[in-house]
Amino acid sequence: MAARALLVVAMAAAVLGTAMGITTYTVGAPAGSWDTRTNYAQWVSAITFRVGDQLVFKYSPAAHDVVEVNKADYDSCSSSSPISTFNSGNDTIPLAATGTRYFICGFPGHCTAGMKVAVKVEAATGSNPTPSPLAPLPRTPTAMAPNAMPPTNGGQPAPPSSSASKPVGVASLVGLSLSAIVASLMVF
């Protein structure tokens, strides 16, 4: 029973990640990992990182770590004022905002040997922004017979019919996925 619930949750995460456009990047893959042999400037040059994506650093924690630093510390390979330090050997770091993030290995000599990566994070694309609750929703024109007057309600236009065609967006797919997940969990 518990294994089945775990499977449902894993499937839900995959569906939501796909619907939301989340991509997970293993640093240095496919040819390398978090090591002194990988050319990270070349690796990042082929990728457009977006808000919501994730970085995964894989390495031996006995030999390396991951230290997030500011640009000055990145340029000088200094880990003396870290923003964050990771040392599990399998670190997942979400990219939650636009801007450039800087990561180095804090082990002596590793950063100067090339274990440093700067990741420029751009705004997410392809998503339907959620309108503000205070902003009026755009109206979709409905087809009317020639010379017909739009229906009114005390001088106000009547709301569009519920059968009006509406575009399906990411939010609708996420809602549908969540409904399916909740329904499957209720079976337990």
What does the domain layout of the chain look like in residue ranges?
Answer: 1-21+171-188, 22-122
Paired residues of 25 in beta bridges: 55
Has residue 187 got a pLDDT over 90? no
- Residue whose C-alpha is closest to residue 126's, from 22, 55, 14: 22
**Backbone angles phi and psi of 100, in degrees to 5:** -105, 135
61-120 pLDDT, tens digit per residue, is: 999 999 999 999 999 999 999 999 999 999 999 999 999 999 999 999 999 999 999 999
- Neighbour-count burial for 154-181, b at 16+ CB within 10 Å, e otherwise: eeeeeeeeeeeeeeeeeeeeeeebeeeb
Cβ contacts of residue 58 below 8 Å, gap of 6+? 26, 27, 33, 34, 89, 90
Domain formed by 22-122, architecture:
Sandwich (2.60)
Whole-prediction pTM: 0.59
